[in-house]
Structure 1
Amino acid sequence: MMPHKFNSSRRHKFEKKRQKVTNWRVYNEGLRQRGDVTIWLSPEVVDKWLAAKRQTPGGQPTYSDMAISVCLTLGMVFKQPLRQTQGLVGSLARLMGLDVPVPNFSTLSRRGAGLSMPEKSKAQRAGPIELVVDSTGLKIFGEGEWLQNKHKTKAKRKSWRKLHLGLDITTGDIVCSDLTKDDVGDPTALPELLDQIDAPVSRFLADGAYDGDPTSDLLVDRFGEAIEIVIPPPITAVLSLDAARNPTPRDKHIAEIRDKGRLAWQVSSGYNHRSRGEAQIGRWKMVIGPKLKSRNFPNQKTEVRIGTNILNKMNGLGRAKYEAVA
């Protein structure tokens, strides 16, 4: 529960902070490169375009996993269906002078299920990860909200999948992502997210859906006792029985909220940085889109992995740096 929504009439109003971009030239060039096809389809991929010969009996695939992932990436970047993606990749290969065959749309659909993505490069980090985890819904089929509201109808079947993202707020990269059915809770999906992280985590920030001993125990077991867990306890939260002698981090959060108020706790604990995760969700829906194109679940999971790679690639091309304007 966000208190400013309920106490806005009694809350002191501050002017909205103004910020300016300090590396506009670099950031502007990064924005331009996002539309450069040579960023997504480079001549170096020709050597790895065809699949290696199989050493076991069975059919011989023509295209490598990298070739399929490049084609699907181009389709997502330029928002094209599979048939148009086939035509797009073919035309780009001809214009760039690349002598490679192009997978047809049925091959892209079939190979997309359970596609092995190229191993991601490990970013050079100055320290451990400060991890922000958040989730949102992605639409897959059914009438849009406008038609449902206009005709007062309800969706006849489940039409959403749940996207889970873990963001490193220091580098701005998505370090873990997953797609689940809409009936899977956030804490239930957390173990598979953490399995994707191969670096130490110093701080974990998430909303109140993750509150509870299972999440805390899991984080301590994975990253050690030193990890700082910042999860807002609910209004009805009570101190543990041993809080007077051996308070847990959750007990300290509850006590500080009672003494200083929830808004002050958000500032002192750094919980406000969780907005970076919400901004990443908004960036996903703006760049990748609020809807999944694939119809079956394995292809949808591949679509999410490709979307994660796209956003990380764009982030690597250049990200904005801000400073406050007095």
Structure 2
Amino acid sequence: MWINESALTMVSEAEPVVRGRPHVYSDALIQALLTLKQVYHLTLRAAQGFAQSLRELAFAELPVPNYTTLSRRAQDLKVALPVTPSGEPLHLVVDSTGVKLYGEGEWKVRKHGYSKRRTWRKVHLGLDAKTGQVRAALMTHQDVDDASVLPGLLDQIPADEPIETIGGDGAYDTKRCHAAIAARGAAPSIPPREGAKPWPECTPGASWRNEAIGDIVRDGRGEWKKRSGYHRRSLVENTMYRFKILTGNRLWSRRIGSQATEMAIRVGVVNRMAVLARPQSVRIA
């Protein structure tokens, strides 16, 4: 096990000073312990015990946080996603998936139907199609539509980082989404909905959408998807599959702040594993 030295520190001087008792443990240390919890599917008590077992090997000078400290700090922890930029203009593909909070298992639903006490959270992801890493992630209630979340996802991408294309399904075919995409100077790869009518040219992003409508009428929707690179959207669906296989398909936290932290930690785990599993290809001829 390799542990980053930045995690083995007390409170950093760069962290903001707030009212009340100062933190003893840095955000990096709390995030590291919560990451171990997610990777090994541990409870908070088990994560504390696991860290104590590693103390003599890795951080003998650092006290291990209590499980109640981990629970409390998780409610408002600012998680930094581990990302390795490709150095090229970003091709971002976006989509969402549901993660169970309360409810029966699939077998009970199959045999006896579902009850009313089924609660989900929606996880919205923005994936770099070139590197396979999640660049933006948000969690919302189950009744929040995808289109309203896209501007928030784009806000997580640095303003000085160029975005070449933003791809998504028909749920993102709204004026608000096209305006957000146009504001970042990106080209949309979003299929217009069935029976869509052209927008006035003064509408932000209307030229791209109106051109797509004309191409679909002339060549067909399938040909437009091939030409526009729409099928790269399947990469984010594959990432959602890995997200649930590696970290589980339900949330264990009960408070909304802790749920958002848990989701971000799990996305960070998927990013780390994507980098570790990606082969390093070198051209030799």
Q: Does 1:257 align with 2:216?
A: yes
**Map of 1:142 onto structure 2:** 103
1:51–1:64 contact (8 Å) kept in structure 2: yes
SS in 2 for 1:133: strand
Worse overlay, 121-130 or 194-203: 121-130
How far 1:89 moved relative to its partner? 1.2
Q: Does 1:208 align with 2:170?
A: yes
How far 1:97 moved relative to its partner? 5.9
Matches within 5 A, 1:84-123: 84-96=46-58, 98-118=60-80, 123=84
Q: 2:155 aligns with which of 195, 220, 224?
A: 195
How far 1:42 moved relative to its partner? 4.2
Report the identity percentage.
36
The CA deviation string for residues 41-63 of structure 1, in whole angstroms up to 9 with x for no partner, is 345633x1456699776323322
Worse overlay, 247-256 or 178-187: 247-256
**Map of 1:228 onto structure 2:** 187
Q: One-letter code of the match for 2:266?
A: G
Structure 1: distance between partners of 2:64 and 2:96: 35
TM-score, normalised to structure 2, is 0.87
Going from structure 1 to structure 2, the CA distance change for 1:213 and 1:306 (only over 3 Å counts) comes to same
The CA deviation string for residues 186-211 of structure 1, in whole angstroms up to 9 with x for no partner, is 11111211110011211010000000
Going from structure 1 to structure 2, the CA distance change for 1:135 and 1:258 (only over 3 Å counts) comes to same
Q: Which has the higher contact order (CA 8 A, sep 6+)?
A: 1
How far 1:314 moved relative to its partner? 1.9
RMSD of aligned residue pairs (Cα, Å): 2.5
Structure 1: distance between partners of 2:133 and 2:16: 35
1:160–1:182 contact (8 Å) kept in structure 2: yes
Q: 1:276 aligns with which of 224, 235, 252?
A: 235
Going from structure 1 to structure 2, the CA distance change for 1:131 and 1:81 (only over 3 Å counts) comes to same
Matches within 5 A, 1:240-319: 240=199, 248-319=207-278
Q: Does 1:131 align with 2:92?
A: yes
User: Looking at CA atoms only, which structure, 1 or 2, has the larger radius of gyration?
Assistant: 1
The CA deviation string for residues 149-201 of structure 1, in whole angstroms up to 9 with x for no partner, is 32234232x51000000011112221100000111111111121111001121
How far 1:234 moved relative to its partner? 1.8
Unaligned runs of 5+ in 2: none
**Map of 2:27 onto structure 1:** 65
Matches within 5 A, 1:148-187: 148-156=109-117, 158-187=118-147
Q: One-letter code of the match for 1:267?
A: K
2:128–2:134 contact (8 Å) kept in structure 1: yes
The CA deviation string for residues 192-232 of structure 1, in whole angstroms up to 9 with x for no partner, is 111100112110100000002221112112x12xx211111
Unaligned runs of 5+ in 1: 1-36
